[in-house]
Structure 1
Amino acid sequence: MVYELYYWDGIQGRGEFVRLALEEAGADYVDVARQPGRGTAAMLKIMDDRGAACPPFAPPFLKVDDVIIPHVANILFYLGPKLKLAPQDEVLRYVANGLQLTITDFVAEVHDTHHPIATSLYYEDQKEAAKARSAAFIADRVPKFLGYFERVLQQNSDGRGHIVGTALSYVDLSLFQVIEGLSYAFPVAMRGYAKRYPGLAALHESVRQRSNIAGYLASPRRLAFNEDGIFRHYPELDSAG
Structure 2
Amino acid sequence: MPYEFWYWTGIPGRGEFVRLALEAGGIAYKECARDPAIGDEGLVKHMQSGQRAQPPFAPPYLVADGITIAQTANILLFLGERHDLAPRDVAGRLWVNQLQLTIADMVAEAHDTHHPIDAARYYEEQKPEAAQRADVFRSARMPKFLDYFEHALADGAWLAGTRWTYADLSLYQLVKGLLFAFPKRMKTLAPGYPKVMALYQGVADLPELQNYFASPRHLPFGEGIFRHYPELDGE
Q: Same fold (TM over 0.5)?
A: yes
Equivalent residues in 2 for 1:99-118, closer than 5 Å: 99-118=99-118
1:219 pairs, out of 215, 220, 224, with 215
> In the alignment, what sits opposite 2:226?
231
- Cα distance in 1 for partners of 2:173, 2:74 equals 17
Give the Cα separation in 1 of the matches to 2:190 and 2:106: 19
Secondary structure of the residue aligned to 2:183 is coil
1:205 paired residue number: 201
Residue 3 of structure 1 deviates from its aligned partner by 1.2
Per-residue deviation, 1:192: 4.2
Q: What does the per-residue CA deviation read over 1:26-72, in whole Å, with 9 as the maximum and x for residues that have no partner? A: 21111111112122233212321235323111000001131100000
Distance 1:194 1:237 in 2: 18
* Structure 2 match to 1:23: 23
Farther-moved stretch of structure 1 (166-175 vs 188-197): 188-197
Instruction: Tell me the CA shift for residue 165 of structure 1.
Output: 2.6
Match of 1:7 in 2: 7
Offset of 1:21 from its aligned partner? 0.4
TM-superposed CA distance for 1:219, in Å, is: 1.2
User: Aligned with 1:63: secondary structure?
Assistant: strand
Which deviates further from its counterpart, 211-220 or 93-102?
211-220
Q: Which residue of 1 aligns with 2:176?
A: 180
Tell me the residue number matched to 1:48.
48
Question: In the aligned structure 2, how far is the partner of 1:59 from the partner of 1:51?
Answer: 16
SS in 1 for 2:96: helix
The answer as to whether partners of 1:216 and 1:222 remain within 8 angstroms in 2 is: yes
Query: Which amino acid letter does the alignment assign opposite residue 175 of structure 2?
Result: I
User: How far apart, CA to CA, are the structure 1 residues paired with 2:190 and 2:83?
Assistant: 30
SS in 2 for 1:190: helix
CA distance in 2, matches of 1:67, 1:54: 8
**Contact 2:54–2:68 (CA under 8 A) maintained in structure 1:** no
Look up the SS of the partner of 1:40 in the other structure.
helix
- The reply to whether residue 142 of structure 1 matches residue 174 of structure 2 is no
CA RMSD between the two structures: 1.3
Query: Which string of whole-angstrom CA distances, capped at 9 and with x for unpartnered residues, describes residues 146-165 of structure 1?
Result: 110111111xx2xx411123
Structure 2 residue ranges without an equivalent (≥5):
none
Partner Cα distance (2:205, 2:52) in 1: 42
Counterpart contact for 1:11–1:225, Cα < 8 Å: yes
Q: 1:161 aligns with which of 152, 157, 163?
A: 157
Contact 1:46 1:55 in 2 (8 A): no
Q: 2: distance between equivalents of 1:204 and 1:29?
A: 25
Q: Give the Cα separation in 2 of the matches to 1:218 and 1:146.
A: 28
Question: Does structure 1 conserve the Cα–Cα contact (< 8 Å) formed by 2:221 and 2:227?
Answer: yes
AA aligned to 1:58 is: A
Q: Distance in 1 between matches of 2:187 and 2:127?
A: 23
Identity of aligned residues (%): 50
Structure 1: which 5+ residue stretches go unaligned? Answer: none
CA distance, structure 1, for counterparts of residue 129 and residue 176 of structure 2: 25
Q: Is the Cα–Cα contact under 8 Å of residues 11 and 229 in structure 1 kept in the other structure?
A: yes
- TM-score scaled by length of structure 1: 0.94
Any idea what SS the aligned residue of 2:86 has?
Answer: coil
Summarize the Cα distance change of 1:65–1:37 in structure 2 as closer, same or farther, 3 Å threshold. Answer: farther
- TM-score, length-scaled by structure 2: 0.96
